[in-house]
Chains A and B, each alone.
Chain A
Amino acid sequence: MAGIVVHKGNVAAMNRVNVDTDQIIPKQFLKRIERTGFGQFLFFDWRFHSDGSDNEKFELNQPHNQNASILVANQNFGCGSSREHAPWALQDYGFQVIIAPNFADIFYNNCVKNGILAIQLPEEKVNELLVKADEAVYELTVDLSQQILFDDNGFKAEFTIDPYWKEMLLNGWDEVSLTLNYEEDISNYEKQRAL
């Protein structure tokens, strides 16, 4: 997995609260046994009409949001089901950064494990971004090492992130490999509890 240090990209705004993972990737697409190829099904029921044609009103179908790689959303993004197919679909579609006032816990973890940077910002900063990206192409730079994001017109926001997750994301580490370095600790723990 490649690390993220600085990411510059277009922003798509999705001003909706409580977007659940059933919407991000509906259940009929969870039967695949691979990790890849989920982008085509992202937001399927919102993105397409029943006859398969594009729903032009849907945020991601609007012309200025084509090629967006940063998604800005509202409260409690990614709630509900634990399906990791949701971040897989977002990433496969092209999103590398997701910004919201807060995320559901499991979704947040699932993003980090896949190298997607989920950034929690204060609500007023998110609202600013939602307005800026609402109708026209809007570009943002995210610098994970400095923990800031900014545009070319003076918008700037700092964000906090758990130092451990930051390190993981910056380096694109495989977490299992890291944990296997603690093999002795795990074995000792098992002995001590007679597991």
Chain B
Amino acid sequence: MTKKTIIEKIWEKHTVVSEPGKPSLLYIDLHMVHEVTSPQAFEGLRLKGRKVRRPDLTFATMDHNVPTLDRYVIKDEIAKKQMDTLSDNCQQFGVRVADLNSPDSGIVHVIGPELGLTQPGKTIVCGDSHTSTHGAFGALAFGIGTSEVEHVLSTQTLWQSKPKTLQVHVKGDLPLGVTAKDIILAIIAKFGVNFGTGSIIEFTGEAIRNMTMEERMTVCNMSIEAGAKAGLISPDETTFEYLKGRQYVPQGEEFEKAVEQWRELATDEGAEYDRTVEIEASEIEPQVTWGTNPSQGIGVNGVVPNPADYNNAADKIAIEQALNYMGLTPSTPITNVEVQHVFIGSCTNSRMSDLRAAAQVAKGRKVAPGVRAMVVPGSQKIKLQAEAEGLDQVFLDAGFEWRESGCSMCLSMNPDFVPEGERCASTSNRNFEGRQGKGARTHLVSPAMAAAAAVAGKFVDVRTFTEATVK
């Protein structure tokens, strides 16, 4: 029997039509929808008199525009209209929606797994590039544009050319105080922002196997920042344990049957990938990005690069431009860089373990003067759970703001933003120019590193900052 990767297994199982010289027609098992990239798709259906083929495989929520201070006070008329439009569209087309009133609401890539909608072996799409998050469960999950959203709504399928398979093997185990976020940032720093273009990544290795589901989600979430179509991890006992008992997962005997099938999905021993890269986990330090794309990052004990050290003209210019935007002097130790804002949240790092890691650092300490720090849970369920554990009080006592769930300052489509020229330690996924506000300077870090930066007022190595380990 041919040995196959999980990618090939899922691909083959979902191929509806395969004709020579054409992409494959893939069936989509789950379509997540949000307010920003769907209105034009629903409008397309209306104009052509079409319906949603499988409302039962479609699930909508609101996250990008939602205010996190008081979600019912939406001052931005256009944002409000976009959310109202989603409600109207879902009602008209019979799609389930976790709206602002729903206890299930939250960031789309947080609630999919939380509700158990995300399951191994599924094909999952959403009009959002961070759909790769769901790959943590051994699903083939990728972001699509609005035309494709319309296509999936109408047909429950997509034409897709088969991407190449790319194994990213994380050898060894993580040192104490180094997190999943640091691994994925280090991978992107090492291999670049487009090493995954045209490929689906499977993350393998001991460090990945030892991760919790929440950690795996952080890793897969940023696959798109490596340019990959998707990133996934073969499911195992950790996956099944996480899913057991969740709302949309089969229950009882049916669950055991599902697990048997899910077990078959894992990449066969000896299966070949088109390409493999490796990274040594034990060599990874807590990461901080210094530039304007996620590959421009260094270990916390490193220095900001100096363009003079680079021979290639293109590299020199890219570094100069990034340092200029970021307002950084070449060769500055990153631990000398002060921050004015700290954001803990986003589909990358807003789950319980992220909040616990940040709270562990914040506990009994105070946010430095002049720093505004906020914690934004990924879903309303996480918010309630964190409050039940008293984490909100830990944060509030330390001087952090405690908010309601939403995308918040990850992309600042809502009232949360960083003012021009100011600097933010952020647990989100993109440090692009203007991402957190026009002229805002974003440094990507893990939740523990962000909390430590809030207390110190600058970047510090969380491992020496606190004796408490992050794991």
Interface residues of A (CB under 8 A from B): 17-18, 20, 22-23, 26-28, 30-35, 45, 50, 75-76, 79-84, 87, 102, 104-106, 109-110, 113-114, 162-164, 175-176, 179-180, 182, 185-186, 189-190, 193, 195
Contacts and interface: CB of A to CB of B under 8 A. Distances in A.
A26 to B, nearest CB: 6
Interface string B153-195: 0111101010100000000000000000000000000000110
Given A31-B79, A80-B129, A106 B144 contact: yes
A164 B25 CA distance: 12
B254 to A, nearest CB: 13
B85 A33 contact: yes
Interface string B305-319: 000000000100010
A180 B144 CA distance: 19
B27 A83 contact: no
Nearest to B151: A176
Contact of B43 (A33, A83, A175): A33
B197 interface: yes
Most chain B C-beta atoms within 10 Å of own C-beta, residue among A26, A34, A75: A26
A23 B65 contact: no
Interface residues of B, number: 66
B159 A76 contact: no
Contacts of B413: 27-28, 30-31
A33 B314 contact: no
Interface in B396-454: 411-413, 420, 430, 432-435, 438-439
Interface in B69-100: 76, 78-79, 81-82, 85
A87 B145 CA distance: 10
Most chain B C-beta atoms within 10 Å of own C-beta, residue among A33, A34, A104, A186: A33
B267 interface: no
25 contacts: A22-B411, A22-B433, A27-B412, A35-B146, A76-B193, A76-B197, A79-B194, A79-B227, A80-B129, A80-B430, A81-B430, A82-B127, A82-B128, A83-B37, A84-B37, A105-B197, A113-B145, A114-B147, A164-B21, A176-B50, A176-B151, A179-B154, A182-B157, A185-B17, A186-B156
Contacts of B156: 186, 190
Contacts of A113: 145, 147-148
Given A33-B43, A180-B155, A18 B293 contact: yes
B229 interface: yes
Given A79-B293, A110-B147, A176-B150, 4 more contacts: A20-B293, A175-B159, A185-B25, A186-B156
A31 to B, nearest CB: 4
Given A22-B432, A23-B433, A113-B145, A179 B159 contact: yes
B56 to A, nearest CB: 9
A4 B393 CA distance: 60
B23 interface: yes
B314 A17 contact: yes
B115 interface: no
A159 to B, nearest CB: 16
A50 to B, nearest CB: 7
B197 A162 contact: no
Contact of B82 (A33, A80, A195): A33
